[in-house]
């Protein structure tokens, strides 16, 4: 069975490994990134180069976005060289980005009104390794028809794909995911500080707590990197800060109290303010060490 043609916009930490995964699975990928070197990296992996988001989308069955901010998504879709200028039914856009919930809903409505095409918000969790080996967790929002159209592709990039409801529902679920992630990073940093203050070897904590109520993917995957001070980015501190800002904005709209998330947000603001925006999210430990 022939795989659908893919137009891919956003070849960063998450986008490049996913492009590689799609190529391995037999998809034809036409890729674009605003940074030329990233487009070149996708070409080296086997993708065709596009000169703009519109060029990437022109002959695609599915258009995939993996971008860092809400503004970047809006520009890629509705800007002067945006994909909306060339899309037509039955093409479907899948946005893997983490963007503001209300904006995501409005983008989907606008795309449907202007082109007749569907939009699936499909933010992910799992990091670059999962993006490259097809084990992402994807939380999705969109119509039943659009979800059905993208389901075969999701089987190739994820091990868990959950349709949470109509447009925006995937983004709302991602806000909750980032709440857990942001607060979890701060808690892990405090655990390392406490373990070291008590004269313990902090690196043994994941082994010690494995299988217990405190165990988690964060503890097993991210805590060891934090304990070793391995801060090369698998996810940028600035990105988690951006996400936590969005979580608090979303909570404010709903009048939902999130005091612990607010504390984590303050810590990441300090981390970025001190010049560590390009380090890994685990670099939150630096705040406690300072």
| pLDDT beyond 80 at 149 | yes
Comparing C-alpha atoms, which of 285, 288, 185, 170 is closest to residue 244?
A: 185
Query: What phi, psi does 34 have (nearest 5°)?
Result: -65, -25
**Phi, psi (rounded to 5 degrees) for 277:** -65, -30
Q: What is the rounded average pLDDT of the residues 126-155?
A: 97
pLDDT attached to residue 262: 98
Asked if 277 and 236 touch (Cβ cutoff 8 Å), the reply is yes
Q: What is the pLDDT of residue 2?
A: 86
Residue 1 has pLDDT above 80, yes or no: no
Can you list the domains of the chain with their CATH numbers? 5-166 (3.40.50.720), 172-289 (1.10.1040.10)
Q: What SS3 state is found at 92?
A: strand
- Whole-prediction pTM: 0.94
Q: Which strand (E) or helix (H) includes residue 193?
A: helix 169-197
Percent of the chain with pLDDT over 90: 98
User: Exposed, middle or buried: residue 3 (CB in 10 Å: 0-12, 13-18, 19+)?
Assistant: middle
79 confidence band (pLDDT: 50, 70, 90): very high
Given this model, what pLDDT does residue 134 score? 97
Over residues 28-32, the mean pLDDT reads 98
243 touches 183 (CB < 8 A): no
> What is the helix (H) or strand (E) element at residue 140, kind and residue range?
strand 136-141
Which of the four pLDDT bands, split at 50, 70 and 90, describes residue 205? very high
Q: DSSP 3-state assignment of 159? A: strand
* Average pLDDT taken over every residue of the chain: 97
Residues above pLDDT 70, as percent of the chain: 100
pLDDT of residue 239: 95
Measured CA to CA in angstroms, residue 55 lies from 6, 14, 123, 254 at distances of: 12, 21, 23, 39
């Amino acid at each position: 069975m022939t795989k659908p043609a893919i137009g891919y916009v956003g070849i960063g930490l998450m986008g490049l490994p996913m492009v590689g995964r799609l190529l391995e699975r037999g998809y034809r990928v036409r890729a674009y990134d605003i940074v030329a070197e990233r487009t070149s990296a996708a070409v080296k992996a086997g993708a065709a180069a596009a000169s703009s988001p519109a060029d990437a989308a022109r002959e695609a069955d599915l258009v995939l976005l993996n971008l860092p901010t809400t503004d970047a998504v809006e520009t890629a879709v509705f800007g002067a060289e945006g994909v909306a200028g060339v899309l037509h039914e039955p093409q479907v856009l899948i946005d893997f980005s983490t963007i503001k919930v209300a904006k995501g809903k409005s983008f989907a409505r606008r795309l449907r009104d202007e082109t007749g095409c569907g939009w699936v918000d499909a933010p992910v969790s799992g990091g670059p390794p999962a993006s490259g080996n097809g084990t992402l967790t994807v939380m999705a929002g969109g119509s039943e028809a659009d979800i059905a159209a993208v389901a075969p592709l999701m089987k190739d990039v994820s091990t868990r794909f959950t349709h949470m409801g109509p447009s925006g529902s995937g983004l709302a679920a991602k806000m909750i995911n980032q709440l857990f992630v942001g607060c979890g990073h701060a808690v892990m940093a405090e655990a390392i500080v406490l373990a070291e203050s008590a004269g313990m070897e902090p690196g043994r904590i994941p082994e010690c707590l494995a299988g217990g109520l405190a165990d988690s993917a964060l503890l097993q995957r991210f805590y060891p990197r934090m304990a070793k001070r391995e801060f090369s980015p698998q996810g940028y501190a600035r990105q988690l800060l951006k996400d936590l800002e969005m979580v608090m904005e979303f909570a404010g709209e709903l009048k939902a109290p999130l005091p612990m998330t607010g504390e984590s947000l303050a810590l990441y603001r300090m981390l970025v303010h001190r010049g560590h925006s390009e380090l890994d999210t685990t670099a939150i430990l630096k705040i406690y060490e300072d």
